[in-house]
Amino acid sequence: MADRTTSLGDKVVYQIYVRSFQDSDGDGIGDLRGITQRLGYLQRLGVDYLWITPFFVSPQNDNGYDVADYCNVDPMFGTMDDFDELVRKARAHGIGLMLDMVFNHTSTQHEWFQRALAGDPKYLAYYKFADAAPDATAEDPGEPPTNWNSKFGGSCWEYVPSLNKWYLHLFDVSQADLNWDNPEVRSELVNVVRFWKDKGVSGFRFDVVNEVSKPDGTPNEWEDDHEGDGRRFYTDGPHVHQYLQELVRESGIDGMVTVGEMSSTTIDNCVRYSNPECHELSMTFSFHHLKVDYVDGEKWTLGRPDVAALREFFASWQEQMAARSGWNALFWSNHDQPRPNSRFGDCSTKESWRRSSELLPTCTHLLRGTPYIYQGEELGMTNPDFSDISQYRDVESLNYYQILQDDGKTPEGAFHIVHERSRDNSRTPVQWNATEKAGFTTGTPWIGIPANHTSINAEDEVADPDSVWSYYRGLIRLRKEMPVVQSGDVHFLDAMSNQVIAYERTLEDAPHGPRRLVVACNFSGKAAAALPSGELAEGSLLVENCDDYREEDGMLVLGPWCAVAFAW
């Protein structure tokens, strides 16, 4: 554990969604040179690594997560020379680059898949193809091999008449799943990792990597299974740990910073993925805490966040992973999630927006693990509040706008759900300044810019010591300065209100700084009792986003959206 906490405990990762970060050439799409232009901003914020979403050659059906060439830069994002310059200049700013590897599937435009469509047996074996019935036709292909659903809606099987076969796509129809059971496929992917490692990359994020190992055969879901999507067969699949160990060993990335996106995973598996003795990954993303506002586990529903459930997810993952030498990636948002202050907080007034935007990082940045900041989160960027479906670009959102109506929703009802749940909520351009195009581009942005960029933007906030940006910078500094934050034990406390999440961090042999922290966060718009105040009186206030916490009847009472941390 000492090596893990030494190498990761003081680090912070910043995620860049390339097309929305900074446009350098006026085409309305962010690019690699745009990132280079903003390195000074990122260094000043204090981050250590930049996780950069895919910029590889792609038809962009899923905004780059449909890769057609793993080892070349898509011209819309720049050139390989631009990437080499970014590596050099990032290193000069003390920042490493982490690339996003989409290895569960490729674009159907990838050369491998095109050769498979041409009937080449070698490349047919690169993907998950299944034979159709002998009498299948384009007009009547019969039943697909399984009744699994795609994560983007509809069947996850697509019929190819010229081959009389079906291919598996857990995501969009243009994203064909690779066959990791084929050692040639695994060797190809090792070579991709080596290519970018040799380019000077410092780490890797592996997209939905716990879904790469599929079961033998084609088992169906039970008719009464409410998921109905087959995930229980391929999630943390039969050979995934073996395959990850091989990838890490053969590519020579053991010891580098790596993170796996783990869909519908378990603590037991994530311990194995991230325990250093297993030689798989540095840490894992798990998403259970981001489903506490789903109704019956369904994403395309709207429920109020269940704060008690949120606390239980944090407690179980933090305490169990710590006890078994696992390591968590700490995050509220990414390019697939709505803005967290709009989702878990209240952005209806300037004060509630500020508090909500600072409450969320207080809760996670002082936990055990490695914090991730999604671009714009450090500014308090919100959902864009689009008013019409034509403003959305995301394939999943557009698909579900129709699916929800097919299931009986009115157009207005379907739009309301998409408005709250769409991945495009986090994909609008970074709000650099208050000018018409927010300093993002001189051209027409690929997606609309939120109207509130005139009041929420980097230019104003960097200059303001009381801004959300400055608050994030302070939390990053605390992590770098305090061993108790970097490597202390974690234990969740019984709060007096089910709207409060409270925990303590302890490190008895801290070489400097405090040995104990207590953090309390009120996830509600009303005052709430948090913890007995007697013991807290012995500590000194370390962090606060409010001035209306108080002692009342022997209790620490927190004001609306209030977060505090005390240190001893």
Is beta strand 516-522 parallel, antiparallel or unpaired with respect to 563-567? antiparallel
DSSP alpha helix (H) spans, 10-59:
32-37, 39-45
Residues with catalytic roles: 207, 261
Neighbours of 459 (CB within 10 A): 14
Q: Which of 143, 135, 35 is nearest to 95 (CA)?
A: 35
Reported as type and span, the H/E element at residue 295 is none
Would you give the DSSP letter of residue 215?
P
Q: Which of 177, 201, 206, 22 is nearest to 107 (CA)?
A: 177
Burial of 217 (0-12, 13-18, 19+ CB in 10 A): exposed
Q: Which of 270, 102, 249 is nearest to 187 (CA)?
A: 249
Which residues fall within 8 angstroms of residue 1, CB to CB, at 6 or more apart? 325, 487
CA atoms within 13 A on the CB side of 191: 9
Dmax (CA) for the chain in angstroms is 79
Dihedral sign from CA coordinates of 373, 376, 382, 385: negative
Residue 47 CA to residue 371 CA, distance in Å, equals 10
Residue 165 CA to residue 154 CA, distance in Å, equals 18
CA 357 to each of CA 419, 468, 469, 508: distance values in angstroms, whole numbers, following the listed order: 20, 7, 10, 32
Dihedral sign from CA coordinates of 469, 470, 475, 479: positive
Residue 111 CA to residue 80 CA, distance in Å, equals 20
Which residues fall within 8 angstroms of residue 537, CB to CB, at 6 or more apart? none
Q: How many residues does the chain have?
A: 568
Q: Which of 262, 264, 297, 298 is nearest to 280 (CA)?
A: 262
Neighbours of 89 (CB within 10 A): 15
The type of residue at 483 is P
Q: What is the dihedral of CA 261, 263, 264, 269, to 10 degrees?
A: -40
